[in-house]
């Protein structure tokens, strides 16, 4: 199975988790997904009142410089740990 196939399978598993991961886990999985699919952050940081948007932007920006393949590998590892702790439907 190629890296892209493993990544897509992991993304599908994350969508089907039995329960919602913690906020920190959600931010981590979001940041790794964005880094893997888009690369370094390419938008302006959200405004002062958009707390959720700022948290997501900051998490993604923290992955700056990580290659897309490395981000996919890290995403797969994180997704697998969430699947093993939360299970999937």
Give the residue-averaged pLDDT of 11-25. Answer: 96
DSSP string of 18-75, one letter each residue: SSPPPHHHHHHHHHHHHHHHT-S--SPPPPTT-HHHHHHHHHHHTTTT--HHHHHHHH
pLDDT digits (tens, 9 = 90+) for 70-80: 999 999 999 99
Residue length of the chain? 89
Give residue for tokens 């920006």: 61
pLDDT digits (tens, 9 = 90+) for 20-59: 999 999 999 999 999 999 999 999 999 989 999 999 999 9
As a whole number of angstroms, the distance between CA 83 and CA 71 comes to 18
- According to the model, what pLDDT value does residue 42 have? 96
Domain ranges, residue 22: 3-86
The domain that holds 10 is classified in CATH as 1.20.80.10
- Total of domains in the chain: 1
pLDDT-based confidence at residue 65 (cuts at 50, 70, 90): very high
Is residue 89 over pLDDT 90? no
């Amino acid at each position: 199975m190629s890296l892209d196939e493993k990544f897509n399978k992991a993304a599908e598993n994350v969508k089907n988790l039995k329960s919602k991961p913690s906020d920190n886990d959600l931010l981590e999985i979001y940041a790794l997904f964005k880094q893997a699919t888009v690369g370094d952050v390419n938008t302006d940081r959200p405004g002062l009142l958009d707390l959720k948007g700022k948290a997501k932007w900051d998490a993604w920006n923290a992955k700056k410089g990580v290659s897309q393949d490395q981000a996919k590998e890290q995403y797969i590892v994180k997704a697998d740990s969430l699947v093993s702790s939360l299970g999937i439907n």
